[in-house]
Chains A and B, each alone.
Chain A
Amino acid sequence: MSRARTKMSRERSTAENAVEAGVRNFAELDAFLEALKPLSPYGRAAKARMGLCSDREALDQEYGRIEAFLRWRKNRRLDAAKAEAALGRVPLLDFDLRAQALGPAELLLLKRFLLCGRSTLAALPEALRRAVDGRWECDGLVGLLSKGSGEDEESFRLSDVHHPGLKRVRRGIGQADAGLKRLRERVFLGVRKRTGLDFFHREFVIADAQEARRFYGDKTLFIEPHDGSRVIIKPVLGPAGLKLGARREKLACEERRLEAEVLAALSADVSAQADRIERLCLALSRADLLLAKARLAQEQRLARPVLQEFGSAIRLRKARHVPLELRNRALGLDYTPLSCDLESRVGVLHGSNMGGKTAALKTAALLQLLAQCGLFVPAESFETVLFERIDYVGEGGSEPVAGLSSFGLELHGLRGLIRDRSLHRLVLMDEFGKATSSREGAALLCATLALFSRNAGYYALASTHLSGLSLPPGGAAYRMLGFDEKAFMKSVGAPACCGKSCEAAEADDRSSERVLPEALRRIHRFMRYELIADDAQVRSSDALKVARVLGLDADVVDAAERFLESKTEFNPADPGKP
């Protein structure tokens, strides 16, 4: 197996890179991939090895294979079910195929693996077999392992036909057993007639020591103490029994020796065909993973990504961040798929608090990762380009480093991806610089985006609330539509900035457990999650409206509004008086 594993890892290293933990977590890639369920241990291992591929031709071929499996799965359901059933029974060969002495358990595992592999390949049409490089070339080995099998095709026994001597030895053991049985019955019957002791279903009996005295001297009985007043009585088969027992033991030793010979011969056969078995492992892992990808595409209505030349726009139509969609559904909230055209390589995304900026970034990240992992994506359509690295800068983007604050960590992450400018990179930045002063944070963000804009290898999308940004040449700005004031007024009868409207809507129930889901539902109802092209001027973040809808104390929100209107210094000692 080790050679197969080496081959597979070498294959991966040529075309794929591991997905960075930061962006993997930000995009919730693993949560999405929970639904990707290969059926065999080999498919599961292939899933675990999936990485970021930036080879357009290889990805297009993979998408083509998924489409082919998808079509086959839809059109030939019975065959697909057969293949899936066989894959589900494939055992893991967790031993060295080139070992000199495999045991019966290993050989049974191998036999079952081969039978399942054969069934899987037999269910696939020729084109799909070619697609996974699946060739059945182990008939000889299956024949060897199936020699003398009983009714159960997937069982294993070192059969008489494996070695001419085994039949003879086993016949001898059978004869000895039969002789012992006859002798036992004869002795037991004799003892019963003579003594009344009944050994039916019992190897011994326990009798009163006083009563058993009458059996002392009976050479057909062996008597030993059980406790202070009783004895154990066993029938003795005598010299004939000893002779038969010794003969049986000798034959059993001979049988073990012959079986070891057979095992060594079979092990040599397995070792000689190890390459073929490893090829079958690879084919099964590919078929299993492709079938899993096709199942996922069918179940979740996924679309084939369209790959464009580097430098082209990224376009998403009705893209869904499935883990977020599921969470919304659990809370009884609607989910708005994302549609947008990211025409420029560098873009800034702004909009309301809770307006969906981070969700939009997550969606873009998830789709990009899935596409480059060779999977279809949850969208109506997705046009994109390929990157050698996908990076995320923001909360949770880096492992904590002793001594570094959250701002320090952001810079630490940013430094790494700026230093190496040789790769095609996608950089997703969520609220960069929010932990420092807004003026300095904005300056750093502008400078970083300008650098990305100057270097043709970078694509970047940054969400921010920072004001005073200047877009780099060729950069674009986008905005989440945000809070729909008109719809809110129409529904509630008062603007969201008016404390009464929210109080009325909350009725008289102020327990936080009930208010929060209701407030979330209200925000979702009136928040417009569409992403549109915009200028770079940051408008209101609807922070006060959101604060009010979420039930922040009205006095606090009113004071904040007065402060904004007065545009004077804030007096924390008396927030009501600027």
Chain B
Amino acid sequence: MRKRTALNRKRGAKYRDLQVSDVIDGLRGRVIFITGSAKNAGKTTFLNYALNCLRPAHGRSRTAFGGGASSRCRSVGPVGFLSVGVDGEPEDLVFGSPKPRVRAAAGDLLATTDRLLAASDAGCELLQVFPGTTALGRMVLARASREGFVELAGPENNSRLPELIEALQKKGAKTVLIDGAVDRVTQVSSGGAAGFVLVVRVDPRKLGSAQDLLRLQSALSRVEVRGGALPEDGADVEGALTQQKLSALPVALRVLRLEDPGKVFLSWREWREASRTRKFLFKQGCEFLGCCAVLFDVSREDFERGLAPEDLANVFYNPYEEPV
């Protein structure tokens, strides 16, 4: 069953106008994956914004900027963050394009490698060293003692991710943000507290595919999560669900249960087509907290045109382009 969170209640009450502050509220005290539609979609920029909002204020209050108190100042405690790739380096390692850097603040908990940490200027205290090494050094857990830039690198093996997240939580991180790919989401979703934010880069060439991605993710978020026995015409589908696998399944199977939403490897159109004749279930889910649309040469009106209200209920816009 879909969880009745405050965020969902807000969506239920009013389909349009999901606000960034609502999404930020939904991140507090949880394990959140920030996933992206493509490289340079804006994941790390959103991570920096979320970190700014979620950190204990340390005297930096909204009042200092001339406004009143805001929910964006509220913190539930230290934040922890890590990446499943390499993040925070000045340039993209593949394309050489400039990349946003990850800024740590005093008290932040982070997981990266010892070699990348040595290059940081955040004056970190090492809290834990994990067994084994990666191409970028040993995975370590650290606490920043002052503000500074850090480069993040994740474990080489997906299975290490839950261990890192648990270690961050044990050391005091109330909210853990993971800059990472959507296929890693479900590894930690079984606890029920995990969620994810999808950052989508929308430009005129990819407007249709961005909308379809949003539609697909919205549809998947509405799929029922159910364990236990299946009806007679139901079956569990092992591994990824591709169009080829779907075609090979007997038509008589009307209910298909997948491990989690990350196992759906169908386009929006394929999913919509399949959903007409079959009911889908997931063994475990991961709450979809919203889609951050990062617009390039596309207006909000153009992006929203053709989207159904239930899809728009999941959209919020790039927090850096709020009205000035």
Contacts and interface: CB of A to CB of B under 8 A. Distances in A.
B65 A192 contact: yes
A189 B128 CA distance: 40
A105 B129 contact: yes
Interface stretch (B83-91, B266-274, B313-321): B313-321
A229 B295 CA distance: 11
B149 to A, nearest CB: 11
B125 A155 contact: yes
B324 A196 contact: yes
A199 B65 CA distance: 8
A103 B118 contact: yes
Contacts of A154: 127-128
B64 interface: yes
A258 interface: no
Nearest to B115: A103
Interface string A92-134: 1000000000011100110010000000000000000000000
Interface string A129-160: 00000000000000000000010101111000
A198 B65 contact: yes
A227 B52 contact: no
Given A91-B131, A156-B126, A201 B52 contact: yes
Interface in B48-72: 48-49, 52-53, 60, 62, 64-67, 72
Contact of A227 (B60, B62, B297): B297
Contacts of A188: 65
A201 B49 contact: yes
Contacts of A157: 124-126, 145
Contacts of B321: 205-207, 230
Contacts of B297: 227-229
A185 B137 contact: no
A202 interface: yes
Given A105-B137, A105-B140, A196-B324, A156 B52 contact: no
Task: Give the interface centre of A155, A185, A188, A199 by most chain B CB atoms within 10 Å.
Answer: A155
B296 interface: yes
A421 to B, nearest CB: 48
Interface stretch (A170-178, A296-304, A391-399): A170-178
B92 interface: no
Contacts of A222: none
Contacts of B320: 202, 204-206
A412 interface: no
A206 B318 contact: yes
The 6 tightest CB contacts between A and B, nearest first, are A105-B114, A206-B321, A201-B52, A157-B125, A227-B297, A227-B296
Interface of A: 91-92, 103-105, 108-109, 112, 150, 152, 154-157, 170, 173-174, 177, 181, 185, 188-189, 192-193, 195-207, 211, 226-230, 252, 255
Interface of B: 48-49, 52-53, 60, 62, 64-67, 72, 114, 117-118, 121, 123-129, 131, 137-138, 140, 143, 145-147, 171, 203, 295-297, 318-322, 324
27 contacts: A104-B126, A105-B126, A105-B137, A108-B126, A109-B129, A150-B125, A152-B127, A154-B128, A155-B126, A156-B125, A157-B124, A157-B126, A170-B123, A177-B147, A192-B66, A196-B324, A198-B65, A198-B324, A200-B62, A201-B49, A202-B49, A203-B48, A205-B320, A205-B321, A205-B322, A206-B321, A228-B297
